[in-house]
Amino acid sequence: MAEQPMHFRSLEEASHSIFDLLSDFVGINTFFIAKNDGYQVDILEVLNKDYTLLESGFQIEFQQSY
């Protein structure tokens, strides 16, 4: 039987599903989705497992993000 494609109503809903799946396989604390326009980096969604490293809504200038 073929799997049905997943449908999400929002980026937030999709990111939580992806983060849950990844966290089962990858042993890291923080997963995030960010938007980078070359001038600014906007953190859109974050999953911190054991401790808070980053929070949704964080913004930083692109040149300072390295």
Answer whether residue 36 is part of any domain.
yes
Tokens of residue 47, six digits: 């999953």
Answer whether residue 6 is part of any domain.
no
Domain count, the chain: 1
Backbone angles phi, psi at 9, to 5 degrees: -90, -15
Give the residue, 57 or 11, on which the prediction is more confident.
57
Residue 18 lies in domain: 11-64
Closest by Cα among 43, 41, 47 to 61:
41
Answer whether residue 23 is part of any domain.
yes
Q: What is the DSSP string of 45-60?
A: EEEESSS-S--TT-EE
Answer whether residue 53 is part of any domain.
yes
Answer whether residue 5 is part of any domain.
no
Answer whether residue 46 is part of any domain.
yes
User: What's at 33, amino acid-wise?
Assistant: I
pLDDT in tens, 15-52: 888 888 888 888 888 989 999 999 999 999 898 989 99
